[in-house]
Structures are given as structure tokens and as C-alpha cells.
């Protein structure tokens, strides 16, 4: 319920009585005054861990007062004095939340993580106090019952509908013991999700593969060896080489290291995270999370948690999700089996007496790629220097939407010293927003890549409030005397997250609750995934793929090899993803509380649907943060659902031209600017002129 949750960004206010001639503790907390920074970004360097809890408490106190003012308003409930007023509550809480939770993921120091449990408990109580407030809901309900008489715009109607449904779905109609039970469940869910994430981070940081014999490095590219030596040196293991389960370290090792035993050891270190029967074990946590979600669904009148979640998604129900996933599964499994057979032939031809295993897949897939396409990933990395790829994404946004990106240097607040900051401008030079970019792994950063916002776009009293957006990644860092050189997968990830940032930056909405990425989960990946398509187009690639030493544009021969290998290993990529998406659905379509063994539950289910043993699910249960530590429960399918949309949408450009201005204008106005102010399918049809077709996705993945 975006308008009353802690992460909403709303109108600014000034706390009266804070300014005195003498410095007080209140004055020294940077959250307790208007940000005195350029573009009103958070003053990151001034914010200390001890500032967060008092700021959260003050933010909750102020939002409660704002809510009470709505309830006690003697005027009859109206759209403005109830629905809009509610959307504008909680500014301080939103500001504090956006900084805290962004830093918790991107720079989760021990001291920051230590205060999270108490903050999460207080937020759970606070959110339930508002979401389940019968007096507040009474006013909302009165407005809702008059909706057909109010002459509302589409955006206003959507805001009213989401506000009303948000209360219902939050349990406002529950009474007595049931209401108290839901409150306890919500608090426990918050605690467990936080602990799940902390355990995954701890497990990731705990594992290291130490190599002390140079011969065990055979096959590895020089860049990987140098990076491992630098990692070892940082760990006071000079003279050795250390490989971690961070993907920039792990994937080159799995792809090139000739020592099969070490490949197995490293890969098992990765997929056993959270399943080592130690203090960081996640098995009991994920079982309790699953069962609590079943209980919550039942309290709210649903058979399963998937039923509860999918009601608000494009998919609408689990049957529709399974229909799509199973259709793709039936196409992808035969392709994966062909890939397996090709790799086994190489093993047999080499005279090796073993059967392909999961930790062999990357190594022999790389051999297949070199044999079939004469393409070695190390050939193309020198052309994908991070800053030129980033500038290529900026250039694309300029050609499509007229945007300009200017780096802000010097004394400007940043969430981490490694981050870069850019002012985003329209073609006419007017300010559009701020974009932070934070590229490389560190021990305090969660794995993966994501895009978030320190402030969302919205309007207050006719004034546009511009967004402050952040992209966080874990890309290959600079190694030795070489700059950060990306794999093509990392290039695609950069364009993907940049697409999310454009969704935030180009938002043109009135209400905070509906702006930016406030869309159904299975629609939100459309603006990100469509950008990946441009990254692989030769015309676009030549704009950013320049050799880091010579400046030479990537040769046509290499582009052709990349293009020819575009569907390489797609059986594997699709199957490992679908396995995770189906596993997620299997957890969340459970209709009763049960004491399961999650390892057996996972193994039995995936074996039952025909997953071949040489491929494991992209995320095994014990480190599946999307569904047990994030917001993708009963929603990991969203990437492929949005994949149907993005493949079909990109063909609209292919049917005209990659930079076609009319198509770009239609896409911007009907998708990127709209936020959640219209039904998702309606937005898509307004752009494309029809509903999406799956054929484009099948062609894109070589599954047609």
C-alpha cells in the first residue's frame, strides 16, 4: 500500500521549533532539517548510523499525526482531503527509509545491519497501525462509494482504487484475534526476510577458494589470475590466489579453470549458501516464511499466497502463470538436452571418463562456443570498457528521448565514495533528475544488480518534484593496469538496470503512490529488459564498443560472432531460470501449513518436472533472495512474462528503425511516463496497438 508504507516519497515539510541559537541533538541529525544540498539529494556524508533510529521514530510520529488530522477533519471525506492527503503523508519517514534501505543493500556495514531488526519491528507496527485503522478506512470507504459521481481523471480513479483495495488487502476488516494474528505475522515476516538476507550475505563473504599452486590456475585468463592475487593480498594471503562466489570472480573460474575438482569446490560453495547447518543456515527460516504466508493468505480470504499476490498482477492467477512457464519449459528442455549432448561429446572426445556435472557446464559450454562460433569471451572484453558502455547507454537515451547526462564532480553528496553522480537533463537543458551509479562488488554489498530511488517523481501543489535514482551493480572491477572490462552479460545487465532508471527518471505522474516503477511486478521488467535488445544491435554496439587501448571500434567479424552465438546456451539459460520461477510458484501455491524439508521439497519438485541433473535452479531455495528476502514471492515468473512484452515491444522499433522518433515518443508517453496511472495491459496496447504476442520471445531465444 504505497501511499502509507514507509518507503513512499511525499511532500516536504519543516519541523517547527528545531532551529535555535544553540546546537541540539535534533539540529545535528541531518534528517531533521531540509536537505541543504544541491538538487536536494540526501547529505550522505553527514548521515551516521546513530541518526537512523531517532529519525525513523520521529518520521512515524509525524505520519501518525498527519493521519490523525485526516481522521479528525470535520469536513466530509473527499478525494482531496482524504485520498490525496493520505498520499502526501510521511515525508520524513520516506526520506529516512529510502536512505536506510538503499544503504543496507549497497553498503551494509555491521553497525548498519545491527540496527535493522529494531527498525523493522517498529515499521511493522507503524504500517499496521495505519493500514488497519478502521477510522481512516471509514473515510476512504466513503470516498470510494461515491467514485462514480466524482468526475475523476483516470489517474485519480486508479489512486482511489489502489488506496481502497490496499486497506482491504492489508486486513482492515479483520477484528479481534484475527487482526492481532495478522500483526504478529507481518512482524515475523519482516524479521525473517531480513535475517534471510543477512545470512546470504554472511555466507557469500565467508566462502573463499584459496589456490596456492600455480598449476591449479591453468586455463584461466590473465585478468582472472591478477584479480585473484589482488583479492588474496587484501586478505593478507599474499603469494596465493583467492576466488569467491561473487560472479566476477566465480564465472571466469568455472568457465576456464582446467582443475575440475576446484571448479566443483567453488560451485558447491556457491550453491550451498544458506544450507551448511551453521549459524547462517536458511532452511528453517524459509519454511517458516512459507507457512506464515499461507496463514496470512487464509486470514485475508485466499487459498494460497499466490492467489493473494497474483490478484494485483497482469497474470491474475496461478493458472495463467503456469501456462506460460510450462509452454516455455516444453520448448527449452529439449534444447538444453541437445546442449548437454554436445558437451558430453567433447568430454568423450578428450578421453575423459566422467559424465557432465553442473560444475562442468560453464567450462564445456565455453569449449562449445569456441568450436561452433570461434568466439572467446576474452576476445570481446577489451571492447567493453565500463565507462564507454555506460556512455553508450547514455547516448541511446539521448537518441531515443533527447536526454543528456552530465557527471557531477567535486564536492557532491554520494551514497558511497565509489559511486558516480550524474545530472539528467531534457533536450532543452531543463533538469530531469539525478542518477547515481555504483558498479563493483564489496563485502558490504549484496550480490546482483538493482535500481532504486532516494526520491520518486511526483507533484505537489503543481510543483514537479524530480527523482533521485540509483543503480547498483557487481561488475568486474579494474584489474592491475586494466580498467573495468565487462563481459557481454554485464553489458546487458548495465542496459537492463539503466532501463529501470529511465522508468523512474521519465515518470510524469501527479501522485507518489503511482509514479515511476509503481506498476505490477510482471510489468516492471518491460522497461528494463527492452533496453537489453539495443545493447546487442550492431548499429548501437559500434557506438560504445571501442578497444580500451587503441580506441578501435569493435570489428564486424566479432559482432558477427556475437550475433551468431546469440542463441548459444539459451536452453541452459531458459531452463535454469524457469526452474527457479516454477519453484517459487510451487512454494507459494501451497494451501496449507506444513513442516517440509526444503532440500527434499526442492529436489523432488524439480526432478518431477523433468529438470536434468546437469542444471540446477538459478536460485536454490536457501539463497533465493528474490522470494524469501525480497518482493518477488509468487512473482519470479515476472521476468519471462515481461520478456514476452519486451521482445514484442522491441519489434515495434525493428519494424521502423532502432531510433525511430515516433515509436520512441509513443513508448515514452504510454509506458515510461505513465507509472501506474493506467491498467498495465491498456498501457501496452496504447503503445503497440494490440496485445503482445509470444512469438517474438520464442524467436529471440531460439525456441521457435
Are both 163 and 237 inside the same structural domain? no
Q: In terms of residues, how long is the chain?
A: 704
Q: Which of 117, 145, 169 lies at the terminal end of a domain, its last residue? A: 169
The CATH number of the domain holding residue 159 is: 1.10.1370.40
Are both 426 and 500 inside the same structural domain? yes
As a whole number, mean pLDDT of residues 593-608 equals: 97
Are both 152 and 211 inside the same structural domain? no
Gap between the Cα atoms of 34 and 14, Å rounded: 7
The predicted pLDDT at position 216 comes to: 98
Gap between the Cα atoms of 231 and 219, Å rounded: 19
279 is a domain residue: no
512 is a domain residue: yes
The predicted pLDDT at position 23 comes to: 47
The count of domains in the chain is 3
The predicted pLDDT at position 2 comes to: 32
Are both 152 and 267 inside the same structural domain? no
Gap between the Cα atoms of 388 and 558, Å rounded: 18
pLDDT of 6 over the 60 cut: no
148 is a domain residue: yes
The grid coordinates listed for 553 are: 571500434
Tens digit of each residue's pLDDT (9 = 90 or more) over 142-201: 999 999 999 999 999 999 999 999 999 999 999 999 999 999 999 999 999 999 999 999
Coil, helix or strand at residue 475:
coil
Is the C-alpha dihedral spanning 628, 630, 632, 638 positive or negative?
Answer: negative
The predicted pLDDT at position 461 comes to: 87
Are both 153 and 219 inside the same structural domain? no
pLDDT of 84 over the 80 cut: yes
Are both 387 and 262 inside the same structural domain? no
Are both 150 and 259 inside the same structural domain? no
Are both 114 and 224 inside the same structural domain? no
Contact between residue 162 and residue 513 where contact means Cβ atoms under 8 Å apart: yes
Closest-CA residue to 110 (of 246, 205, 32, 188): 205
E runs forming strands in 244-305: none
Catalytic residues: 497
As a whole number, mean pLDDT of residues 478-492 equals: 95
Contact between residue 461 and residue 475 where contact means Cβ atoms under 8 Å apart: no
The grid coordinates listed for 169 are: 488487502
471 is a domain residue: yes
Are both 160 and 239 inside the same structural domain? no
Across the chain, mean pLDDT equals 94
622 is a domain residue: no
321 is a domain residue: no
Instruction: Give the domain range for residue 265.
Output: 207-271
Are both 154 and 219 inside the same structural domain? no
The predicted pLDDT at position 27 comes to: 61
The residues, any chain, with a CB within 8 Å of residue 416's CB and separated by 6 or more, are 44, 106, 107, 438
Q: Could you identify the residue written with the cell 591449479? A: 216
pTM, two decimal places: 0.94
The predicted pLDDT at position 382 comes to: 97
Tens digit of each residue's pLDDT (9 = 90 or more) over 258-306: 999 999 999 999 999 999 999 999 999 999 999 999 999 999 999 999 9
Gap between the Cα atoms of 704 and 701, Å rounded: 8
The predicted pLDDT at position 26 comes to: 56
Are both 164 and 211 inside the same structural domain? no
Tens digit of each residue's pLDDT (9 = 90 or more) over 354-376: 999 999 999 999 999 999 999 98
31 is a domain residue: yes
As a whole number, mean pLDDT of residues 602-621 equals: 98
Tens digit of each residue's pLDDT (9 = 90 or more) over 531-554: 999 999 999 999 999 999 999 999
Tens digit of each residue's pLDDT (9 = 90 or more) over 15-67: 223 333 344 555 689 999 999 999 999 999 999 999 999 999 999 999 999 99
Gap between the Cα atoms of 668 and 673, Å rounded: 6
Q: Which of 111, 143, 169 lies at the terminal end of a domain, its last residue? A: 169
As a whole number, mean pLDDT of residues 416-444 equals: 97
- Beta pairing partners, 453: 469
Q: Which of 227, 254, 271 lies at the terminal end of a domain, its last residue? A: 271
The predicted pLDDT at position 566 comes to: 87
Tens digit of each residue's pLDDT (9 = 90 or more) over 306-337: 999 999 999 999 999 999 999 999 999 999 99
605 is a domain residue: no
Tens digit of each residue's pLDDT (9 = 90 or more) over 540-592: 999 999 999 999 999 999 999 999 998 899 999 999 999 999 999 999 999 99
Are both 533 and 682 inside the same structural domain? yes
Alpha-helical (H) ranges within 107-175 are 110-131, 134-145, 154-169
- Secondary structure letter of residue 669 according to DSSP: I
Q: Encode 255-291: b = buried (16+ Cβ within 10 Å), e = exposed.
A: bbbebeebbeebbebbbebbbbeeebbbbebbbebbb
The predicted pLDDT at position 275 comes to: 98
Amino acid at each position: 500500500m504505497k501511499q502509507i508504507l514507509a518507503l513512499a516519497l511525499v511532500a516536504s515539510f519543516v519541523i517547527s521549533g528545531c532551529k535555535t541559537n544553540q546546537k541540539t541533538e535534533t539540529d545535528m541529525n541531518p534528517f531533521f532539517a531540509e536537505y541543504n544540498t544541491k538538487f536536494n539529494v540526501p547529505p550522505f556524508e553527514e548521515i551516521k548510523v546513530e541518526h537512523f533510529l531517532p529519525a525513523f521514530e520521529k518520521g512515524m510520529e509525524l505520519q501518525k499525526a498527519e493521519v490523525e488530522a485526516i481522521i479528525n477533519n470535520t469536513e466530509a471525506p473527499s478525494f482531496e482531503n482524504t485520498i490525496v492527503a493520505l498520499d502526501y503523508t510521511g515525508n520524513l519517514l520516506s526520506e529516512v527509509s529510502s536512505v536506510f534501505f538503499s544503504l543496507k543493500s549497497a553498503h551494509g556495514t555491521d553497525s548498519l545491519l545491527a540496527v535493522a531488526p529494531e527498525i523493522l519491528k517498529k515499521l511493522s507496527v507503524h504500517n499496521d497501525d495505519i493500514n488497519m485503522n478502521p477510522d481512516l478506512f471509514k473515510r476512504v470507504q466513503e470516498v470510494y462509494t461515491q467514485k462514480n459521481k466524482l468526475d475523476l481523471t483516470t489517474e485519480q480513479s486508479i489512486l482511489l482504487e489502489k488506496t481502497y483495495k490496499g486497506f482491504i488487502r492489508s486486513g482492515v476488516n479483520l477484528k479481534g484475534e484475527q487482526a492481532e494474528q495478522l500483526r504478529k505475522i507481518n512482524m515475523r515476516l519482516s524479521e525473517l526476510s531480513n535475517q534471510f538476507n543477512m545470512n546470504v550475505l554472511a555466507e557469500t563473504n565467508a566462502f573463499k577458494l584459496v589456490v596456492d599452486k600455480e598449476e591449479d590456475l591453468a586455463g584461466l585468463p590473465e585478468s582472472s589470475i591478477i584479480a585473484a592475487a589482488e583479492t588474496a593480498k587484501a586478505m593478507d594471503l599474499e603469494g596465493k590466489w583467492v576466488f569467491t562466489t561473487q560472479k566476477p570472480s566465480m564465472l571466469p573460474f568455472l568457465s576456464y579453470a582446467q582443475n575440475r575438482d576446484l571448479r566443483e569446490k567453488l560451485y558447491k560453495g556457491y550453491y550451498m549458501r544458506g544450507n551448511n547447518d551453521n549459524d547462517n543456515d536458511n532452511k528453517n527460516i524459509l519454511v517458516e516464511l512459507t507457512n506464515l504466508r499461507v496463514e496470512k493468505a487464509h486470514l485475508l480470504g485466499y487459498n494460497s499466497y499466490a492467489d493473494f499476490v497474483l490478484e494485483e498482477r497482469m497474470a491474475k492467477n496461478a493458472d495463467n502463470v503456469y501456462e506460460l512457464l510450462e509452454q516455455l519449459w516444453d520448448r527449452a528442455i529439449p534444447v538444453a538436452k541437445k546442449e548437454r549432448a554436445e558437451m558430453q561429446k567433447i568430454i568423450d572426445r578428450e578421453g575423459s571418463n566422467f559424465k557432465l556435472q553442473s560444475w562442468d557446464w560453464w567450462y564445456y559450454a565455453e569449449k562449445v562456443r569456441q568450436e561452433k562460433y570461434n568466439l572467446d569471451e576474452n576476445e570481446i572484453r577489451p571492447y567493453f570498457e565500463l565507462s564507454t558502455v555506460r556512455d553508450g547507454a547514455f547516448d541511446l537515451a539521448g537518441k531515443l528521448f533527447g536526454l543528456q547526462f552530465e557527471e557531477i564532480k567535486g564536492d557532491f553528496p554520494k551514497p558511497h565514495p565509489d559511486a558516480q553522480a550524474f545530472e539528467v537533463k531534457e533536450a532543452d537543458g531543463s533538469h530531469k533528475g539525478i542518477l547515481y551509479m555504483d558498479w563493483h562488488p564489496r563485502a558490504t554489498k549484496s550480490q546482483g544488480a538493482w535500481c532504486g530511488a532516494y526520491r520518486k517523481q511526483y507533484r505537489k501543489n503543481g510543483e514537479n518534484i524530480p527523482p533521485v535514482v540509483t543503480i547498483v551493480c557487481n561488475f568486474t572491477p579494474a584489474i592491475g593496469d586494466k580498467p573495468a572490462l565487462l563481459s557481454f552479460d554485464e553489458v546487458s545487465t548495465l542496459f537492463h538496470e539503466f532501463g529501470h532508471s529511465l522508468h523512474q527518471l521519465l515518470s510524469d505522474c501527479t501522485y507518489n503512490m503511482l509514479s515511476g516503477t509503481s506498476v505490477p511486478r510482471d510489468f516492471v521488467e518491460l522497461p528494463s529488459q527492452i533496453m537489453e535488445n539495443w545493447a546487442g544491435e550492431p548499429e548501437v554496439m559500434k557506438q560504445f564498443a571501442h578497444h580500451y587501448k587503441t580506441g578501435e571500434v569493435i570489428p564486424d567479424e566479432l559482432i558477427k560472432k556475437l550475433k551468431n552465438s546469440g542463441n548459444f546456451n539459451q536452453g541452459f539459460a531458459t531452463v535454469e531460470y524457469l526452474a527457479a520461477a516454477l519453484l517459487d510458484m510451487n512454494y507459494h501455491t501451497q494451501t496449507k501449513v506444513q513442516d517440509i524439508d526444503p532440500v527434499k521439497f526442492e529436489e523432488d519438485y524439480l526432478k518431477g518436472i523433468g529438470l536434468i541433473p546437469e542444471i540446477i535452479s538459478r536460485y536454490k531455495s536457501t539463497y533465493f533472495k528474490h522470494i524469501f528476502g525480497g518482493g518477488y514471492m509468487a512473482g519470479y515468473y515476472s521476468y519471462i512474462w515481461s520478456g514476452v512484452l519486451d521482445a514484442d515491444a522491441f519489434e515495434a522499433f525493428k519494424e521502423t528503425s532502432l531510433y525511430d522518433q515516433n515509436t520512441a515518443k509513443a513508448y515514452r508517453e504510454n509506458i515510461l511516463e505513465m507509472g501506474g496511472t493506467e491498467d498495465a495491459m491498456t498501457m501496452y496496447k496504447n503503445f503497440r496497438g494490440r496485445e503482445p504476442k509470444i512469438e517474438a520471445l520464442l524467436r529471440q531465444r531460439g525456441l521457435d
